[in-house]
Structure 1
Amino acid sequence: MGFALTIDLERPFGEVLAATRGALAASGFGIVSEIDLQKTLRDKIGVDVGEHVILGACNPRYAQRGLEIEPSLGVLLPCNVVVRHSAGLTVVEAIDPETMVMVTENPAMADLADEVRQALKQALDQVSAS
């Protein structure tokens, strides 16, 4: 199993980034952090990686449930969603919540991870369809 849910789109980066923000909101996720990796790496070390934004997406209800099951889950939050430009495509990648089950080695996380995975997949499907 991979660690990311991924879609590749032949659409402009800015359009996909906006659609991703909207789709995450429609699926109950707020953006609690945003890192413009292109700007950060260019400013800090003079390297250009192309358009690349990391969105820290959080659904408070899922986060609270996860913390009840696994108190140390906070080290894996928020769910990172990346929008980047690569080889003529705009790529959207979200952490696969199944990773939470593998990393925590807590099988009690499985049902919640499935729910979060479906919500993130729904958001990516919405981005693909928009």
Structure 2
Amino acid sequence: MYGFSLQLQMPFDLVITNVIESLKKEGFGVLSDIDVKATLKEKINVEHRPYRILGACNPSLALRAIEADADIGLLLPCNVVVREEKDSSISVVFMDPEAVLQIVDSPEIQELAKEVKGLLLRVASSLSR
């Protein structure tokens, strides 16, 4: 598995707001926000349920990662997907940095991945309260 998730029963836009606020509390900013639903409609005229990809970054941890491995930017930021399911529930899916960054042969990067995962797990936990 390369991610972990939770299901919520609340409006999509409220989940987006809560995810962004919870990320901020753990030191993450959202560098990118890709609205897949809007992009599919605009580019290929396809209707799709709400689906957003948030590119989350903790600047201090990203700097440590870049200093440890200059090419690590290829694997950043940590993506968080928020999507509406067929049953109208909302899935919030977090990239698992430990799983993704195990391809990097560096104990320092592995330790950072563990630290980032811990923070993202705290975000997930705060959302399910």
Same fold (TM over 0.5): yes
| Paired residues of 1:62 and 1:112 also in contact (CA < 8 A) | yes
Contact 2:30–2:57 (Cα < 8 Å) also in 1: yes
TM-score of the superposition, structure 2-length normalised?
0.93
Deviation string, structure 1 residues 39-95 (Cα, Å, up to 9, x no partner): 001110122221011111110011011112221110111111111101221000111
Residue 18 (structure 2) pairs with residue 19 (structure 1):
yes
Q: Is the 8 A contact 1:38 1:49 kept in 2?
A: yes
The one-letter code sitting in structure 2 at the alignment partner of 1:34 is D
Kindly tell me: are residues 48 and 105 of structure 1, through their superposed partners in 2, closer, same or farther at Cα, counting changes over 3 Å? farther
Structure 1 unaligned blocks of 5 or more: none
Taking only aligned residues, the RMSD between alpha carbons, in angstroms, comes to 1.2
Work out the number of aligned pairs and report it.
Answer: 128
* Cα drift, residue 104 of structure 1: 2.0
Asked if 1 retains the 8 angstrom alpha-carbon contact of 2:7 and 2:92, the reply is yes
TM-score (norm 1): 0.92
Deviation at 1:101, TM superposition (A): 2.7
- 1:94 and 2:64 are equivalent in the alignment: no
Tell me which residue corresponds to 2:46: 47
Distance in structure 1 (CA, Å) of the matches to 2:19 and 2:110: 25
Identity of aligned residues (%): 37
Map 1:1-130 → 2, pairs under 5 A = 2-88=1-87, 89-129=89-129
Q: Which amino acid aligns with 2:4?
A: L
Separation (CA, whole Å) in 1 of partners of 2:95 and 2:115 = 13
- Given that 1:101 and 1:107 are in contact with CA atoms closer than 8 Å, whether structure 2 keeps it comes out as no
